[in-house]
Structure 1
């Protein structure tokens, strides 16, 4: 079998070699059936600059077709000396077949300009492939470190190249607010900027004393959504509420519980939350309405994680809300609030997407749960009849350190190696078939406290994101040793794409961040923390 047929990432379900090769050259035509003009346009743009193959419309050559016998994301790629056929159950399937074609070509064809001559030989054979999960996601935190639009678009291209199909965009947090909201101008003039940035783990209390910030205009976000849609990536926005709101409260102190200060400069969880009075609720509804206007997907993220109730104990506004709604105490405020936001989104034809803390007190019907506090919450969410996305920090938090090498830049969290990411399975053990069907898939999370640039995001994400892509695309049975034999050829593709991945040999001297020291933890310590953190779920289901 041709080596290029066996070195694909993620590995296809079926790959069989044939005789000879198809030669792709400047005269090769592209024959796209009705409904596939978008894939044809994208493919011309992807292959043309490096190959000088402009794929003019015409019969023969590369043929793109829809096949109702295939599922929506399933594709079949058949290559022979006379032509190349890509069939998919829907446009997405054809697109994934075209991405596989890119991997079958030499890595130099992934560059943005022509470096070598053709024609380009594509080995003959047949590939048939389909994903295991329909949610193959990545969270990008642009609140802790703002990422310009061009870097977000580049990341979308890298996700699509690995057949990932969801970008969960974490748009706001205590350390920064990144979107405009009509009628609330101080969110971007004040809330989008912090006075300094913490250097390294919070235990060291180091700061750089440089303001940091930025925000996306409405047109920026429309561009991100449209660019992603052309690559069959759904953008799910998240504005965290009612906690992780110090940036908003810094802009509008009347939304809070007495705090009057700047956007948070340090990492960690702020105690400054929304007061849940009438103005705060109107604010949240305005934010959600604007998200609905900008993001066409069904799910709207409201976070719901790590909301300390301490301020509510002494807040006249919060206490008035507790009395008005007949709530048992401040611990019932957040479930009440989540239900109100779910009702509002339902009026817009949308559903809540929230972290597993919203299970406490009962998540609203139809809510989709992002289960992050270890493996247990995914099972609890499914048993409570909620659709769930598995993203446990112990398996897929890519801000966590990649080795015990002290030269790793800002090593935080527990050790999370390439092999450990590859071993992740979104479906927790012990579920019934019906419960397992509620697991939509998995998501790798890129929290950017310690990722100050796209270069650093690359280092933390790759090649672990390549391993993750295979866990959510391919079958449950996988072999890390076999994956490791394919990875070197894939790293050549990442080189051609300009990805600053972590070398398999370990960090280079210039990867280090001695000015931003870390705080590594052991797995046992983290598991003990998780048992304490998720005790609320046990009490809620008792």
Structure 2
């Protein structure tokens, strides 16, 4: 009997040591999955359960704004409509607090605590908002969240994406998707080089521009989701979208040839023209920053071909001045103008070659993308705020694509500039990825998205926290799969009709075509004579961007992106939008021609 008791005792001890590890211990090893990863997680026993009857408790005006956005996002994510109520939190509720006294959270950090109820606290409205993005990511993986607490504060203040919708037009739904995804992953800065249709300078309204109402809509979304949208008009180089019809403002070389991409920086009228555009953009953009580009002014040329620039520099700065001083002078005049309007200036770095005697105005943020003579460490030593916009982070349509996996495996972080790795992050504002359309027809928007989402999550991780939170890239990408897309994100690859042969009819014009979905979520329209394609007019970035260019059947080519079309739902039918030019096609006499929708009402095609 005593032997049996001793045996039972031994078995009890063994059971104690061999029992499964309690959930609380596992949680210590694995914080809940988010992007960016939580670096500070203190687990507690139990869990928070989101269920019917949950309420959003918000007392102040800031808290109610956050709760209102969260309520809409919860509904969009399939979690039902949650009421926003004041005070008196109970089990199962979600509590939103903005407490300025919690200064340790900074302007964007937050504290999240999950238990019988869940609370999100920030020292600012933006910080508390970021906490709600973490909550949405956790709920995307299930209604039960492990109990615990995190204090989550970003390492860098600028966490961005740059988009050059320059020359080409990128659809507004695509840009809206981007804003939602950025906010979901706690990125806070969208820098956009684009053209707003001008009332002051209608001669500059070449496609692809955006209407002011479209930009107001995008900016309002950015404000709601705490993503600052910073506009850029590149100058004094790359100005051809604005001055191709203004030869009086174009730089003239020693042979008398006009340079339609270069603004003549020696002319007062050129400066007045550019600053009038700043004023017009201020009507729709609310950002307190202005990006003037200032890159590649002499791309493919040199100052020696323009002796008037040297004369201007020496007249203003003395006999030792260089042509580069005239360039810096233009930058500094824009800086002063922007500052007077309450805006901080941003420029690219490649114009800072070191050949100038006049310094760039203090306070100008330099976005460093190219390895030139003036290194990042020198810019920091001179006191300039410095953002990492390295070319290794670029996605170019039909060209270079950032090696996101390689960067992750290297533990890339914002101290790693082109040509120099800094020992400290002091003075580095952050980093951004950049999307560029150097070959405008090289890829469609939907194809760009496939490359974008991993790169976007990587830059979010590298600028917010530990740049290498998982041992392998596969584990890191699994985070993105787990949290999914942002609530309200639209699948733009969904085609509204099945493959098949249809008759497309509008205003007495009919077209028989086989409609077939492409791999990137558009359609081809194969007629008896070939596949419908836009052709004609001057090519810009390899794209026929002229309104009035004709769509005609051509030899079908699965790689030809100009043969891809979006069937955009409209009342009673569909608009035909070219996947690359982003213009709608309508009948014009016996032809099919493309126009921007604000220039000619788009035809509505009925499919049968």
**Aligned-partner Cα distance in 2 for 1:290–1:324:** 32
Q: Please state how far the C-alpha of 1:141 moved relative to its aligned partner.
A: 1.1
Between 1:418-427 and 1:179-188, the stretch displaced more is 418-427
1:430-469 matches, cutoff 5 A: 436-450=425-439, 452-469=443-460
User: Which position in structure 1 is the counterpart of 2:386?
Assistant: 388
Q: Please state how far the C-alpha of 1:92 moved relative to its aligned partner.
A: 1.1
User: Which position in structure 1 is the counterpart of 2:328?
Assistant: 335
Q: Please state how far the C-alpha of 1:165 moved relative to its aligned partner.
A: 0.3
- Mapped contact 1:273–1:311 kept (Cα < 8 A): no
**Aligned-partner Cα distance in 2 for 1:421–1:398:** 16
**Aligned-partner Cα distance in 1 for 2:273–2:435:** 28
User: Which position in structure 1 is the counterpart of 2:56?
Assistant: 30
Of structures 1 and 2, the one scoring higher in RCO (CA 8 A, sep 6+) is: 1
1:369-388 matches, cutoff 5 A: 369-374=366-371, 377-388=375-386
Tell whether 2:73 aligns with 1:46: yes
User: Which position in structure 2 is the counterpart of 1:134?
Assistant: 157
Q: SS state of the match for residue 174, structure 2?
A: helix
From 66, 82, 88, the equivalent of 2:122 is 88
From 401, 404, 408, the equivalent of 1:417 is 404
Tell whether 2:301 aligns with 1:274: no
**Aligned-partner Cα distance in 2 for 1:415–1:226:** 30
**Aligned-partner Cα distance in 2 for 1:236–1:397:** 18
**Aligned-partner Cα distance in 1 for 2:559–2:408:** 26
Q: SS state of the match for residue 232, structure 1?
A: coil
- Mapped contact 1:458–1:500 kept (Cα < 8 A): no
- Mapped contact 1:356–1:377 kept (Cα < 8 A): no
**Aligned-partner Cα distance in 1 for 2:323–2:37:** 50
**Aligned-partner Cα distance in 1 for 2:125–2:402:** 39
- Mapped contact 2:64–2:84 kept (Cα < 8 A): no
Q: Residue by residue, what CA displacement relative to the aligned partner does 1:43-72 show, whole Å, maximum 9, x if unpaired?
A: 000001311132342532110112322322
**Aligned-partner Cα distance in 2 for 1:457–1:31:** 40
- Mapped contact 1:7–1:490 kept (Cα < 8 A): no
User: Which position in structure 2 is the counterpart of 1:229?
Assistant: 223
Q: Which runs of 5+ in 2 are unaligned?
A: 1-25, 254-258, 494-517, 521-556, 562-608
User: Which position in structure 2 is the counterpart of 1:62?
Assistant: 94
Q: Residue by residue, what CA displacement relative to the aligned partner does 1:237-277 show, whole Å, maximum 9, x if unpaired?
A: 11100001122221222211359xxxxxxxxxx87311221
Tell whether 2:107 aligns with 1:79: no
User: Which position in structure 2 is the counterpart of 1:525?
Assistant: none
> Structure 1: which 4+ aligned runs deviate by more than 6 Å?
none
Tell whether 2:176 aligns with 1:186: no
Q: Residue by residue, what CA displacement relative to the aligned partner does 1:147-178 show, whole Å, maximum 9, x if unpaired?
A: 1222212110000011000001112xxxxxx2
- Mapped contact 1:104–1:123 kept (Cα < 8 A): no
From 372, 394, 397, the equivalent of 2:394 is 397
Q: TM-score, normalised by structure 1?
A: 0.74
Distance 1:53 1:122, change over 3 A: farther
User: Which position in structure 1 is the counterpart of 2:47?
Assistant: 21
User: Which position in structure 1 is the counterpart of 2:168?
Assistant: 145
User: Which position in structure 1 is the counterpart of 2:543?
Assistant: none
**Aligned-partner Cα distance in 1 for 2:249–2:558:** 37
Distance 1:490 1:136, change over 3 A: same
1:98-117 matches, cutoff 5 A: 98-107=132-141
Tell whether 2:238 aligns with 1:244: yes
User: Which position in structure 2 is the counterpart of 1:166?
Assistant: 189
Between 1:9-18 and 1:463-472, the stretch displaced more is 9-18
- Mapped contact 1:373–1:392 kept (Cα < 8 A): yes
Distance 1:513 1:351, change over 3 A: farther
**Aligned-partner Cα distance in 1 for 2:303–2:366:** 25
Q: Residue by residue, what CA displacement relative to the aligned partner does 1:432-467 show, whole Å, maximum 9, x if unpaired?
A: 76xx42111111111133565431231121212211
**Aligned-partner Cα distance in 1 for 2:43–2:84:** 28
Higher radius of gyration, 1 or 2: 2
User: Which position in structure 1 is the counterpart of 2:347?
Assistant: 354
Between 1:289-298 and 1:127-136, the stretch displaced more is 289-298
User: Which position in structure 1 is the counterpart of 2:524?
Assistant: none
Q: SS state of the match for residue 458, structure 1?
A: helix
Q: Please state how far the C-alpha of 1:480 moved relative to its aligned partner.
A: 4.7
Q: Please state how far the C-alpha of 1:343 moved relative to its aligned partner.
A: 1.8
Greater percentage in strand: 2
User: Which position in structure 1 is the counterpart of 2:248?
Assistant: 254
Greater percentage in helix: 1
- Count of aligned residue pairs for this structure pair: 445
Q: SS state of the match for residue 395, structure 2?
A: coil
**Aligned-partner Cα distance in 1 for 2:260–2:375:** 24
- Mapped contact 2:72–2:81 kept (Cα < 8 A): no
Tell whether 2:482 aligns with 1:484: no
Q: Which runs of 5+ in 1 are unaligned?
A: 110-119, 172-177, 194-213, 260-269, 400-408, 502-508, 517-542
Q: SS state of the match for residue 244, structure 2?
A: helix
**Aligned-partner Cα distance in 2 for 1:292–1:421:** 38
**Aligned-partner Cα distance in 2 for 1:415–1:158:** 19
